[in-house]
Amino acid sequence: MGIVSPGFQGRPRTAEPALPPGQYLTQDFPVLSAGPTPRVPLDTWEFVVTGEGGAEYRWSWDEMMGLPQETPHVDIHCVTRWSKLGTNWQGVSLDTLLDGIDTSARYALVHSYGGYTTNLPLDDLRGGRAWVAHTYEGGPLPAEHGGPARLLVPHLYFWKSAKWVRGIRLLADDQPGFWETAGYHDYGDPWREQRYQGD
Ligand SMILES: Nc1nc2c(c(=O)[nH]1)N[C@H]1C(S)=C(S)[C@@H](COP(=O)(O)O)O[C@H]1N2
Ligand SMILES: [Mo]
């Protein structure tokens, strides 16, 4: 028996293929941004959840750092066909942030500093599957990859993982975001190859 370090979340991969259909493996970390990289100072950074009725739940950077932190070890899949296996992050689970927010909303529209948006069912932000991530491979998340903090929703194509995340609007009805309006799939499950509308 070797030393098992706390937080190590390795799992056997023998039972399932690691790569979704049509994806190739990459070792580097491509940067894909639809616009310029916004620079967000930590002292003005905030994360806001807006309820259907307009109620706002806000966290400053320090408040976010004071919440319980998790260390997801996950595979990520971009719709442009690269996948990266076993990436290591640190951040706050959306379960933690949504805990105590009483809502019957079924959808979420995620907003970023810089104006990017993306939508997903609210349930996909629950169940230990989504984080506001601020640390990548042991260091602060670089700005080009979404720092100070990005959404991390690795079970969907990576365009759903909004960089420079600023907040989430809870909605009764689904509302498409930036890429979804441009023809990308509304849900974006890489295992079902839901790249574009109609897939
Ligand atoms: N705010 C914002 N978030 C974004 C994007 C973007 O253009 N702006 N691009 C998305 C797409 S298409 C992908 S594949 C990933 C890329 O993340 P990376 O640049 O860290 O690889 O971010 C997603 N999140
Ligand atoms: Mo992407």
For residue 17, is it within any domain?
no
pLDDT, one tens digit per residue, over 8-26 is 555 555 556 789 999 999 9
pLDDT, one tens digit per residue, over 146-194 is 999 999 999 999 999 999 999 999 999 999 999 999 999 999 999 999 9
Counting from 1 in the atom list of ligand 1, the atom nearest the Cα of 179 is 12
CATH number for 147: 3.90.420.10
For residue 55, is it within any domain?
yes
pLDDT, one tens digit per residue, over 73-82 is 999 999 999 9
For residue 168, is it within any domain?
yes
Report the residue among 112, 159, 178, 179 best suited for mutation to probe ligand 1: largest number of ligand atoms under 8 A from its CB. Answer: 159
CB count in 10 Å sphere of residue 85: 15
For residue 129, is it within any domain?
yes
What range defines the domain where residue 143 resides?
44-176
The number of distinct structural domains making up the chain is 1
Counting from 1 in the atom list of ligand 1, the atom nearest the Cα of 157 is 14
For residue 27, is it within any domain?
no
What are the φ and ψ backbone dihedral angles of 186, each rounded to 5 degrees?
-65, -35
Separation between Cα atoms, residue 106 and residue 173, nearest integer Å:
7
